[in-house]
Amino acid sequence: MELLWEESKDRLTADVEGSCMIYRMMLVDDDVPMLSYLEQLLPWDELGLRITSSACSSIQALRLFKEMDPQLVITDIGLPQMDGVELAMEMKKINPDVRIIFLTCHEDFSYARKAVQISADDYLIKDELTSVKLKESVLKAVSHLDEMTSRLEQLSDRIEIQRHKNLLKQSFMKQVLSGDDSDSVKKLGLRIGVVWKKSDFLMAHGMFDYASFAARYSFKDLPPIRFALYNIAENLALAIDGMSVFQDEDGTILLIYNYEKNLAVNACERFGRYIDQVHRAVQQYIKVRIRVVVSNPFQGVKSIGSIHSRLKQYDSDLYYDSVSSAVMQDWKPAEWLRTPHMTTGVRASFLAAAREGNPKLLLDLFDKSLAEMKESRVSPSRGRSECSQMIRMIEFELGYQGESESFHYYFLHAGRIEESLELIHMRIEHVMGPTADSVMMFSKTPRLKVIEDYVIEHISENITAVTMASHLFLNPNYFSRYFKKLTGMNFTDYVHSLKMDMAAQMIKNDAGKIEVISMKLGYSDRTYFSKVFKKYNGVTPSEYRH
């Protein structure tokens, strides 16, 4: 838990007013009047809660849950599309610490059993709901939140102490790398528990595979995951006398083994087994890949700085090789071509593929370019820089407006060609959509069904062409053009038409008041709803009903 405490701390962080903690709360019910009733049933602020979001569909609730990060959710079980229990399970995947209170119209043993299985705080029958019963359930949930917050605050104190020690270790390592082995540096080493009494050393560098990181985490997770990597390596080092672990500013872990030559113990093999343990533990606990480069044996603290520099250069020279672990042995610095590789003609080919909306062709061009760079011995830094610039040009050409700096950070720090290719594939699919030809996406009616299904799932929301394009990972202008070409109408008209067909059916089936139907279909203004309904059905909703 200590490794990733920041994530839980962020989720449980509450507003502080005076000396009271105020937790965020969400209400979910497809009955709009019921939402209003719940909002007024209790003095929520006095109970340490604030309603930060309400939703009338499970799909909307899940989206708001990701945005608002509530710590308590009160939800109806009988929701369309995804029932309340399924919704709670999805929420628990995002935040296992969220507290859940279920409401239902009737008692159902199977639902009650599922509620117990996912550790819900309570299961209340709507017909029997009173302010007293709800308050009792809510206070129980708040008590759990208080307890968790208290534990995390204690853990926070311990982490801060550890971080202070890490700052001292960074200061110590910085002086060692500069070649300083003065008495003051040795005294600092004693303070942090680093005592190198023997003359023989081994050193290794451990670095993230950013493609595996980007597939699982967001950019804001980088500092705590780097800390987790360091913590894993340090905890495993405790069992080995003479093993020290440091971390530099870019997150690289430095493993230094100070040992005494002994015919009975092979130091290189022992160091190798330790590195294998780190590999396995990182994969098991934080689910990312790392690469490690190992020095040859060397002597003396004064050599650490030069060996550190050689290891960095050695790791860079391995960019075009498919190795996750390597030992320097007889390595000599590589000679690289540092002139530009992507000509004007090559760049034009990339941009033409982007304009065609053909992600598969783009990926083939990147694969080919990186293979040529490898064959021509283009320097890794030059190759990464040119590919990064090409992706920026593609994003600009397509009018992409999303966040991009985290990708380019990962890409410019990629340590192996396979890592770069994996990141490029992820980026192109994010900006343009799946690798199937994008034109094909709108030339077959099954794709129209995908769009229709999305609209129906989000029927209570205001769905725009930008929303739909984002869901399909397409440029909005590109999506709008092809949708018009496919259907003969613009996307806004299509959504209104689909919703008005549903509205007519709901009115025909007497599915509630016009105001409620309007809200369920995403129209908060009754007058506007009536205007749109008349446009598509020829009469107002009231006239249609009678």
Residue bearing the bigger pLDDT, 381 or 263: 381
User: Is 323 found in the same domain as 354?
Assistant: no
Report strand pairing: 49-55 vs 325-327: unpaired
**Degrees, nearest 5: CA angle 408-411-415:** 155
Of the candidates 108, 284, 302, 289, which has an alpha carbon nearest to the alpha carbon of residue 210?
A: 289
What's the pLDDT tens digit per position in 129-170?
889 999 998 999 898 888 887 776 665 655 555 667 778 888
Burial class (CB in 10 A: 0-12, 13-18, 19+), 80: middle
User: Is 278 found in the same domain as 206?
Assistant: yes
Contact of 406 with 398, CB cutoff 8 Å: no
User: Is 62 found in the same domain as 124?
Assistant: yes
Report strand pairing: 243-247 vs 200-208: unpaired
The secondary structure element, H or E, covering residue 348 is helix 344-355
Structural domain boundaries enclosing 529: 441-545
- What total of structural domains would you count in the chain? 4
Domain presence at residue 243: yes
Virtual CA dihedral for 461, 464, 467, 469, nearest 10 degrees? 150
Tokens standing for residue 263 = 């015919």
User: Is 243 found in the same domain as 201?
Assistant: yes
Which of 381, 406, 432 is at the close of a domain?
Answer: 432
Q: Band of the pLDDT at 70, cuts 50, 70, 90? A: very high
Domain presence at residue 265: yes
Please report, as a single letter, which amino acid is at residue 2. Answer: E
Residue 481 has pLDDT above 50, yes or no: yes
Q: Band of the pLDDT at 38, cuts 50, 70, 90? A: very high
Domain presence at residue 158: no
What's the pLDDT tens digit per position in 284-318?
888 899 999 999 999 999 999 999 999 999 999 99
Distance (Å, rounded) from C-alpha 22 to C-alpha 72? 11
Residue 477 has pLDDT above 90, yes or no: no
Distance (Å, rounded) from C-alpha 26 to C-alpha 369? 50
CATH number at 529 reads 1.10.10.60
User: What distances in angstroms separate CA 120 from CA 13, 20, 103, one per listed residue?
Assistant: 20, 24, 11
Q: End-to-end distance of the chain based on CA atoms, in angstroms?
A: 62
Of the candidates 523, 522, 540, which has an alpha carbon nearest to the alpha carbon of residue 531?
A: 540
User: Is 495 found in the same domain as 426?
Assistant: no
User: Is 448 found in the same domain as 425?
Assistant: no
Domain presence at residue 361: yes
Of the candidates 66, 118, 123, which has an alpha carbon nearest to the alpha carbon of residue 96?
A: 118
Domain presence at residue 171: no
User: Is 311 found in the same domain as 219?
Assistant: yes
User: Is 322 found in the same domain as 256?
Assistant: yes
Contact of 28 with 75, CB cutoff 8 Å: yes
**pTM assigned to the model:** 0.53
User: Is 129 found in the same domain as 13?
Assistant: yes
Please report, as a single letter, which amino acid is at residue 454. Answer: Y
Tokens standing for residue 162 = 């550890």
The secondary structure element, H or E, covering residue 325 is strand 325-327
Contact of 196 with 299, CB cutoff 8 Å: no
Mean pLDDT, the chain, whole residue set = 84
Share of the chain above pLDDT 90, in %: 36
Domain presence at residue 75: yes
Please give the DSSP secondary-structure letter assigned to residue 342: -
Q: Band of the pLDDT at 74, cuts 50, 70, 90? A: very high
CATH number at 14 reads 3.40.50.2300
Of the candidates 132, 163, 145, 195, which has an alpha carbon nearest to the alpha carbon of residue 13?
A: 145
What's the pLDDT tens digit per position in 325-376?
899 988 999 999 877 788 888 889 999 998 888 888 999 999 999 999 999 9
Domain presence at residue 242: yes
For residue 423, the tally of other CB atoms under 10 A from its CB is: 25
Which of 115, 150, 185 is at the close of a domain?
Answer: 150
User: Is 514 found in the same domain as 485?
Assistant: yes
User: Is 379 found in the same domain as 299?
Assistant: no
User: Is 540 found in the same domain as 449?
Assistant: yes
Which of 411, 432, 453 is at the close of a domain?
Answer: 432
What's the pLDDT tens digit per position in 242-265?
999 999 888 899 999 999 988 888
Residue 84 is predicted with a pLDDT of 87
Mean pLDDT of the region 174-185: 89
Distance (Å, rounded) from C-alpha 393 to C-alpha 389? 6
For residue 387, the tally of other CB atoms under 10 A from its CB is: 24
For residue 270, the tally of other CB atoms under 10 A from its CB is: 16
Ranges assigned E (strand) in 186-276: 200-208, 243-247, 253-259
CATH number at 213 reads 3.30.70.270
Domain presence at residue 467: yes
Residue 436 has pLDDT above 60, yes or no: no
Residue 263 is predicted with a pLDDT of 82
What is 379-440 written as a DSSP string? -HHHHHHHHHHHHHHHHHHTT--S--HHHHHHHHT--SHHHHHHHHHHHHHHHH-SSS-HHH
Residue 435 is predicted with a pLDDT of 45
Q: At what angle do helices 222-237 and 267-285 cross, to 10 degrees?
A: 140
Give helix then strand counts, H and E, for the chain.
24, 12
Of the candidates 415, 518, 488, which has an alpha carbon nearest to the alpha carbon of residue 207?
A: 415
Of the candidates 485, 493, 475, which has an alpha carbon nearest to the alpha carbon of residue 443?
A: 485
